[in-house]
């Protein structure tokens, strides 16, 4: 299943978590929004490569970014930079901000028929997503790459579930992030 699209090679994607937000021009957001709850601001964006979630609280910043490579300027303040492979979970406790952050990432490379089933499931979830985008494809008979992000607030926690399909490689990238708040709200 060969498809030309705006998506990069799914096997080249990196997950980066840093204490500095990338410059807005580096994000190339196709969809974005801002949410405020308790005393936290979450700037969320979908990009051709994946997504960005920029958390801000009490003067502290924590940024989750899925991209082909980490921006050089951000590596000095990075808590995590890793290639997305298999299924991995990380817990980060920044020194400031009064929060604990955990992120799980998973890359699934599927057989074409399995990919089409998973892709159909994601299409049916587009209406429930906080943000979603269907990217163009050059072949109208092939599935279009899509991204969806769901943000949920429960008590003193904010969770983000993101899904990105990569039809060229029959790949699905899934991330789940949880920001747990402590201290004054």
pLDDT tens digit string along 131-151?
999 999 878 888 999 999 999
Q: How far is CA 13 from CA 35, 58, 62, 115, 151, in A?
A: 26, 31, 19, 18, 22
Strand-by-strand arrangement of the 78-83 sheet: 31-37, 40-46, 51-57, 60-67, 14-18, 78-83
Highest mean pLDDT among 69-78, 117-126, 131-140: 117-126
pLDDT category at 114 given cuts 50, 70, 90 is: very high
Write the DSSP assignment of 46-81 as a string of letters: E-SS-EEEEEEETTEEEEEEEESS--GGGGGGEEEE
């Amino acid at each position: 299943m060969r498809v030309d699209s705006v998506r990069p090679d799914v096997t080249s994607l990196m997950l980066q978590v840093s204490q500095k937000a990338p410059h807005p021009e580096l994000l190339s957001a196709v969809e974005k929004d801002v949410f405020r709850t308790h005393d936290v601001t979450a700037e969320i964006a979908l990009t051709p490569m994946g997504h960005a979630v920029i958390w801000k609280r009490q003067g502290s910043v924590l940024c989750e970014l899925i991209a082909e490579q980490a921006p050089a300027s951000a590596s000095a303040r990075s808590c995590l930079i890793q290639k997305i492979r298999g299924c991995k979970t990380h817990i980060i406790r920044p020194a400031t901000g009064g929060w604990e952050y955990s992120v799980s990432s998973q890359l699934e490379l599927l057989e074409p028929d399995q990919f089409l089933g998973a892709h159909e499931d994601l299409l049916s979830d587009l209406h429930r997503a906080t943000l979603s985008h269907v990217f163009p494809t050059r072949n109208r008979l092939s599935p279009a790459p899509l991204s969806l992000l769901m943000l949920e607030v429960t008590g003193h926690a904010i969770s983000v579930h993101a899904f990105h399909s990569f039809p060229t490689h029959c790949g699905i990238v899934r991330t789940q992030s949880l920001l747990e708040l402590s201290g004054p709200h």
